Amino acid sequence: MKKHDIIFIVSAIVIVLAFFCITPLNDWFSEWSKAKDGRYFVLAFLKFGVLATAGECIGLRIAKGKYNEKGFGVMPRFIVWGILGVGISTAMSVFAGGTFGFLHYCGLDLNPADIANECFGNQLIYAFSVSVLMNTFFAPVFMTVHKITDTHILEHQGTIRGFFKPIAFGRILKNLNWDVQWNFVFKKTIPFFWYPAHTITFMLPSEYRVLFAALLGVALGLILSIANLKKSKS
């Protein structure tokens, strides 16, 4: 373990402890997590922006031995993850609510207002159903959009100015490594990681779901580093 690893780990621990030990900070976080207005999405932006970007930095550390490098574009990645985080939070709300209707048609009537008091089996069926529906219908689009923005950032050397230039969606989409995208990112990570991971997410109280999903961004950073290594070998 090198000096920058120790600094990264200690910094992460200090930040996490601050949210638990500093009462005003903890109260702010709890209040905004439970908010039913724009504050919920602002916090979602910050959660994903910070945590998922940190995950990508960890992925870079695994792949290249450093947390940042010229052209990586930490700030553009933060912006992208913040925006994607708002989209993910919206998708979680849509699928979490819509799955009750799906299960109703399957013969399982659950009370949306009292799901926490259902038996463990019903909660598990609900959480797994939400995860499968969301990751089957939403995740591939999300992952592809993320890959396009990631490519755009790298093409413009990670600069803020370059990030705000028009994204060449058609060209980037055409030139994606679909062998890795389909055979690894879609076929392996979705059923074997994201289905069970988001089942856990939707077993949690609603105010903690977005935070846990954002924490999974660290795992996503590892997945992206593996995908990039596969791409470099292919």
Domain that holds residue 103: 35-233
232: pLDDT strictly greater than 60: no
Question: Would residue 20 count as lying in a domain?
Answer: no
Cβ atoms 71, 150 nearer than 8 A: no
Report pLDDT digits (tens) over 112-124: 888 888 999 999 9
Question: Would residue 1 count as lying in a domain?
Answer: no
Question: Would residue 166 count as lying in a domain?
Answer: yes
Question: Would residue 12 count as lying in a domain?
Answer: no
Cβ atoms 122, 110 nearer than 8 A: yes
Question: Would residue 3 count as lying in a domain?
Answer: no
110: pLDDT strictly greater than 90: yes
Report pLDDT digits (tens) over 157-205: 999 999 999 999 999 999 999 998 999 889 999 999 999 999 999 999 8
Question: Would residue 4 count as lying in a domain?
Answer: no
Domain count, the chain: 1
For residue 11, the model assigns a pLDDT of: 87
Question: Would residue 125 count as lying in a domain?
Answer: yes
pLDDT bin (cut points 50, 70, 90) of residue 228 is low
Report pLDDT digits (tens) over 31-87: 888 888 889 899 999 999 998 898 888 888 887 888 899 999 999 999 999 999 999
Residue 166 is classified by DSSP as: P
Cβ atoms within 10 Å, residue 81: 28
For residue 207, the model assigns a pLDDT of: 79
pTM above 0.85, yes or no: yes
Question: Would residue 112 count as lying in a domain?
Answer: yes
